[in-house]
Chains A and B, each alone.
Chain A
Amino acid sequence: MSEILLEIDGKEVSAREGMTVLEAAQGAGISIPTLCHHEKLEPFGGCRICIVEIEVRDWTRLVVSCVYPVEENLVVRTRTEKIDRIRKTILELLLAHAPDAPGLQELVQEYGADKNRFEKDASFCIHCGLCVRYCAEVKKKNAVGFVDRGIRKEISFIPEISAKECWNCKECFPLCPTSYLQAVYVLTEALAFPSHSTEAMSDK
């Protein structure tokens, strides 16, 4: 693997070929905010909060660092006025759904996001897909998935799989930035396989 030298926020950073800008930054101790990123999972590129400015061959543009691969002589800026404005807007859009989500609060402080900027539509899920992808990619169970599309998109446990697989796993629970996942799970359990949960309780 050849070494690639790039510049992030004025600092020379060394990376390996195939790494993403986010990984290179993290390796150099430069922090870029993420929401849908997880080191065990394929890059998703959904939340777009890790957006950075890159300059390559005199061409400046915005890309998401969790997907963009490092290249020689790349110049990366992780904080600009525009980036901060976009991150703040993204956070505010998510706060319309999950105004008090624990996983968002630190970033809300950092970027001065206003949880009342947009009309509320409290549905709690921010569609980061961590639960769905973790279950599919790491656990290979596909017990939870996305249904429908666009603004109607929701996470949903598949009762037939969930009844068998979830009770002793629940590894997705701590991944959820809003705690909405647990609610969906409990609801699925109550509706689709209540007896199982009672058995599981009595086993303890």
Chain B
Amino acid sequence: MARLNSPEELRKFRQAILSKRDPDNPCISICAGAGCIASGADEVIAAFEAEIENQGLQADVDTKGTGCPGFCERGPVVVIYPEEICYLQVKPEDVREIVEQTIKENKVIERLLYEDPVTGEKAVKESDISFYKNQQRTVLCNNIRIDSRSIDDYLAIGGYSALAKALSEMTAVEVLEEVKKSNLRGRGGAGFPAGRKWEGSRNASEPIKYVIVNADEGDPGAFMDRALLEGNPHSILEGLIIGGYAISANEGYFYVRQEYPLAVANINLAIKQAEDNGLLGKNILGSGFDFNVMVHQGAGAFVCGESTALMTSLEGKVGEPRPKYTRSNIKGLWNRPSVLNNVETWANVPLIVNKGADWFTSIGTASSKGTKIFSLVGKITNTGLVEVPMGMTLKDIIYKIGGGIPGGKKFKAVQTGGPSGGCIPEKLLDLEVGFDELSKAGSMMGSGGMIVMDEDTCMVDVARYFINFLTDESCGKCVPCREGLRQMHKILTNITAGKGKEGDIEILETLAETAVEASLCALGKSAPNPFLSTLRYFRDEYEAHIKEKRCPALSCKNLIAYHIDPDKCQACMICLRKCPAEAIDGGKKKIHIIDQEKCTNCGTCFEVCPPRFGAVEKISGVAMPAPIPEDERNITRKSTEK
């Protein structure tokens, strides 16, 4: 491994890598991200390697497991360069055909292409797929192009050129000013301007300073940072080194959650490779700037994503937030100036240095610049990671990219910003995504979770779910969060269980106010959001639960009952046989009836009743219809009538 002593040596080294690679040679990129691995990507990669070897094509064809390109719904994803042919849901048994047809004969295999569910048109290139076509991928785009464990791959696509530029052509203050000018705002939660945070640390008198990557991504359903950490670790590392240079810090940390072992492995490998190449350590690229990085693994506490709790944890203490009213960029880790930014924020830094602040500010809204990665999950056709320019409407993200709601269901709400974000209703779908826009709507950007909910989702139950998560993750230090959330959770549980009382909403509002105003840290202060936003937009659902003991979404188990419509029942015996509680009475030609005393509301009958009959229905808040008289239950009479 060559140690590079100057930007010129880096440039030559990159040339040497590129000269060994023929851009016209086929390259098979197979996503080796967590989602595709779960769908069998490892077997597909092994099958490709074996097949290429069998056919003696090793010299002409490059095969690589890459980072996550985001279309997790259709994994394993295979992209074949230079034509950029994209095959989805590839299985090991497809591999021989791909090599025979596409690699050797240059023929496209139709059945593995993406087919537009509306038009039926096939898309050959990745960029033609509607999921990708409407995205703007400035940060995520390289995930599929590189083997995340190869620094050569990263260098080949121009990696570390921003670092070289910063160190050799810019002063630290110029780098800082460029980031300030870009108005890059933190991608981890609060959206604080990164440049201002950096400036505070740079100007602090204490000489020893730190830069830290917050990779403690813990929001349920969020995996943006994971995809970057696993797929393109060098891009984050490069941003961090540049940040260190800008604020004059010589030490950096990655705080990675323990639940991301592959991310930890890839980051550690990236650090080792960067050190071997002279891109980390003493006198980086001959600039005189020294910088070292260490990786710290969290121990499974969500609250450690909060800046002061993260730093306390990094110091080796229990990960609880600090009560002090000082900014951590002035007094952070070991009471020294510490710049903590999220993974995605750091990954944007090399782009800003290379392309300039003007390029960055040309994307986005007035107050939110650049792109943002969202993890689009829930009741959505195209689950996956999407990167869009700030200012795209929620509607476009959900319908143009996400492909809308599956199963012909109606959209109800989209939850953004992680567990302490909020639910945004249909009437606000034209909202443009941005830090301030989402906050105004009672939600937040958070780190970019986006959970889509359809008409079957009970909004009271959603609030209960997230408050439960936050109760579990509260550190327990302050009363408004620990005790307030405990009581909020109890009351919400009661409401969804049909035990809601008049006055519950008011008590919840008081508890929410106490937590928002008096909690010690951002976790507690934002924890009531799931309740407050659902109350704001779906108050009628709360009232239906409390006053009528009715769940409008027909979702809360204790508030619904199952009923068989005697006019629709064909006495097919399916539900009767499947009912685990033996609560269904009937016979071969005898209309079925559910014994409400025995029924456990498990929903099996509802699920197994053939859709062409659709005889089982859920009812809530209304009296159970009287059972059909015994002498009218004979199915033959019904059929003779017809």
Contacts and interface: CB of A to CB of B under 8 A. Distances in A.
B123 interface: no
Contact of A151 (B471, B480, B510, B513): B471
A30 B291 CA distance: 51
B57 interface: no
A118 B487 CA distance: 7
B476 interface: yes
Nearest to A43: B323
A97 B510 CA distance: 19
A119 B482 contact: no
B91 interface: no
B487 A127 contact: no
Interface in B462-519: 471-480, 482-487, 490, 507, 510-511, 513-514, 517-519
A64 B524 CA distance: 15
Given A45-B323, A63-B325, A89-B510, A51 B475 contact: no
Contacts of A67: 323-325
A18 interface: no
Contacts of A68: 325
Contact of B476 (A45, A62, A69, A149): A149
B514 to A, nearest CB: 4
Interface string A90-132: 1001101100000000000000000001110100001100000
Contacts of B485: 151
Contacts of B507: 117
Given A45-B478, A149-B301, A94 B483 contact: yes
Contact of A93 (B325, B474, B483): B483
A198 to B, nearest CB: 35
Contacts of B513: 82, 85-86, 89
B474 A82 contact: no
A86 B301 CA distance: 28
A51 B325 CA distance: 13
Contacts of A146: 318, 476
Given A118-B487, A149-B301, A90 B479 contact: yes
Contacts of A180: none
Contacts of A196: none
Interface string A25-58: 0000000000000000001111111010000000
A90 B520 contact: no
Interface residues on A, range: 35 or more
Contacts of B323: 43-46, 64, 67
Contacts of B475: 149-150
B303 to A, nearest CB: 8
A86 B517 contact: yes
A201 B50 CA distance: 78
Given A48-B518, A85-B513, A86-B517, A151 B476 contact: yes
Interface in B361-412: none
Most chain B CB inside 10 Å of its own CB: which residue of A44, A121, A149: A149
Contacts of B511: 89
Given A44-B323, A67-B324, A69-B325, A90 B480 contact: yes
Interface residues of B, number: 31
A82 B483 contact: no
Contact of B514 (A45, A90, A148, A149): A90
A153 interface: yes
B476 A48 contact: no
B476 A153 contact: yes
Given A44-B323, A64-B323, A96-B483, A86 B518 contact: yes
B487 A150 contact: no
Nearest to B471: A151
A48 B486 contact: no
A149 B487 CA distance: 16
A110 to B, nearest CB: 17
Contact of A150 (B324, B472, B517, B518): B472
A46 B457 CA distance: 36
A64 B517 CA distance: 10
Interface string B553-590: 00000000000000000000000000000000000000
A46 B520 contact: yes
B482 A151 contact: yes
B479 A85 contact: no
Interface centre among B301, B324, B325, B483 (most CB of A within 10 A): B483
B568 to A, nearest CB: 43
Contacts of A96: 483, 487
A97 B318 CA distance: 24
Contacts of A48: 478-480, 518-520
Given A86-B513, A86-B518, A90-B479, A149 B325 contact: no
A127 B476 contact: yes
Contact of B479 (A62, A69, A93): A93
Given A150-B471, A150-B473, A86 B514 contact: yes
Given A67-B324, A68-B325, A62 B478 contact: no
Nearest to B473: A150
B481 to A, nearest CB: 9
B518 A127 contact: no
Nearest to A117: B507
A93 B519 contact: no
Contacts of A93: 479-480, 483-484, 487, 514
A47 B479 contact: yes
A99 to B, nearest CB: 14
A44 B483 CA distance: 17
B486 A151 contact: yes
Contacts of A85: 510, 513
A149 B514 CA distance: 20
A63 B518 CA distance: 7
A34 to B, nearest CB: 13
B520 A45 contact: yes
Contacts of B520: 45-46, 48, 64
Contacts of A89: 480, 484, 510-511, 513-514
A152 B486 CA distance: 11
A119 B490 contact: yes
A153 B324 contact: no
A62 B480 CA distance: 14
A74 to B, nearest CB: 12
Contacts of B325: 63, 67-69
B478 A46 contact: yes
Given A90-B514, A150-B474, 8 more contacts: A48-B518, A64-B520, A67-B324, A69-B325, A89-B513, A90-B483, A93-B480, A117-B507
Interface of B: 301, 318, 323-325, 471-480, 482-487, 490, 507, 510-511, 513-514, 517-520
13 contacts: A46-B323, A82-B517, A86-B513, A86-B517, A89-B480, A89-B484, A93-B479, A94-B483, A119-B487, A127-B477, A149-B474, A150-B475, A151-B485
Interface of A: 43-49, 51, 62-64, 67-69, 82, 85-86, 89-90, 93-94, 96-97, 117-119, 121, 126-127, 146, 148-153
By Cβ-Cβ distance, the 4 closest A-B pairs, closest first, are A45-B323, A153-B476, A93-B483, A150-B474
